[in-house]
Amino acid sequence: MSDTRPYKKTTLPNGVRIVTGRMEGVKSASLIIAYNVGSRIEPAPIAGAAHFLEHMLFKGTTNRPDPLTISQEIESVGGILNAGTGRENTSYWAKVPGMHLALAFEVLADMLRNSVFDPDELEKERKVIFEEIRAVQDIPEDMVHDVIDQLVWGDDPVGRDVAGSEETVANIDREAMVDFFHRNYGADRLVVAAGGDVNHEEVVALTERFFGDLPVTINPHTSTVASSDQTEKRIKLITRDTEQAHLCLGFPALSYYDDRRYVQSTIEAILSSGMSSRLFQEIREKRGLVYSVYGYFRSHEDIGQGVIYAGTDTERVKETIEAIMVELKKLRDEPVPEDELERTKTLRKGRLLMGLEDSRSVASWVGSQEATYGFIETPEEMMVHIDAVTSAQVQELANDLLQEQLMNLVLIGPYAREREYLPLITLD
């Protein structure tokens, strides 16, 4: 009998996990090489090391000493090559025509096994990262999201900027980077994910060829357990002569292991999914207070965070804060009507399915679930969880999360007196 499962998994003897999702009729193949290594595990003096390392793996190998060659080989077949670093993972990926999957493996494996960490390239890239950090500081609508993380979590690594600071990035010399690389990029932290025009057995064979001898980690860096001991609401003003005010309201939320995560994502959708969501309709359409308003939840292994962002006229910031609090209080105090809940569920299921039409999306789906949970949930299985969410569960979780003493507000604009804005953070 043939295997009809939509996703397949193999684990190599050294612990490398391989997951694939084949898509019929798709001509592209996406390959993601993902490590459970992110900014949370970094020692404080070298915060930003994971992100800096990600940059450096594009800067030359023993086989491809010219950094240009790395990108040219993928782009010469019409492909795309990139990477990204988060708080708990780093991913390197390539999207190519299916016939060139082996090339994608070869280039990514060369980067991850044979990078030379040239000292001159390291110093050039350090300056690039300095500019990246400064660019965020120059853009208030980006900066406010970093500051809310810091305000909610304080000195905990989960609240640090993934890129680190100029001070800590300056501390990362070649020896520290190579040490971070060898200690953390081991087989036990590696997931190889492929989606699109792929064959599972071929992906397994290529992984064995390029990563089958990869050793496991020895004395790796690990993260500390994050927690919140907040007992009163907090505010941070950043005084700038801006034409628009930018604000984020943040609060602790659920980890991605919490069984109520499906309820939490339903709350996110009610508040912020699309032009029919509550925040958009009430604060932009009906009141005309903002051009942009949205919310999101970001979950980690042991903790999570909810954030509401708004950009508004500097003269209407108080009214905007009050309007956001009204919507949060309504979600906490009033059951979500069944017709709205059903519309939200249908929206979530539709976007889930549409989001898996691309080979990279499928590779990301299977890779992230394997890295996070150790198994892969199908869209159909996830939709069962979405359908199971009740109005009572939404209200119960809203009451747990939306507590006034857990609220944090960051406001960037021409303001200086916190006492004017702190009383606006109320759920009474």
Locate the domains of the chain by residue range.
Answer: 7-211, 234-424
Question: b/e string for 59-87 if b means 16 or more Cβ within 10 A?
Answer: bbbeebeebeebbebbeeeebebebebbb
In the Cβ-directed half-sphere of 60, how many Cα atoms lie within 13 Å? Answer: 11
* CA angle (263, 191, 114) in 5-degree steps: 145
Tokens 């309201």 belong to residue: 249
- pLDDT of 2 reads 42
Report the 10 Å Cβ neighbour count for 274: 12
- pLDDT of 227 reads 83
| DSSP symbol at 205 | H
Could you report the per-residue pLDDT of 239-252, keeping only the tens digit for each? Answer: 999 999 999 999 99
- pLDDT of 228 reads 85
Is 106 among the catalytic positions? no
Burial class (CB in 10 A: 0-12, 13-18, 19+), 375: exposed
- pLDDT of 402 reads 97
- pLDDT of 308 reads 98
| DSSP symbol at 216 | P
CA distance 13 to 11: 7
Domains 7-211 and 234-424 alike in fold: yes
CB of 207 closer than 8 Å to CB of 16? yes
Burial class (CB in 10 A: 0-12, 13-18, 19+), 5: exposed
- pLDDT of 423 reads 94
Tell me the three state secondary structure of residue 307.
strand
- CATH class of this structure's domain 7-211: alpha beta
- CATH class of this structure's domain 234-424: alpha beta
- pLDDT of 197 reads 97
Which member of 54, 121, 268, 370 is catalytic? 54
Mean pLDDT of the chain: 96
Q: What H or E segment, with its residue span, contains residue 359? A: helix 359-373
Q: What H or E segment, with its residue span, contains residue 401? A: helix 391-401
Question: b/e string for 391-416 if b means 16 or more Cβ within 10 A?
Answer: eebbbebbeebbeeebbbbbbbbebe
* Residues of the chain under the 50 pLDDT cut: 1-2
Alpha helices (H) in 297-337, listed in sequence order: 317-333
CB of 53 closer than 8 Å to CB of 87? no
User: Structure pTM?
Assistant: 0.95
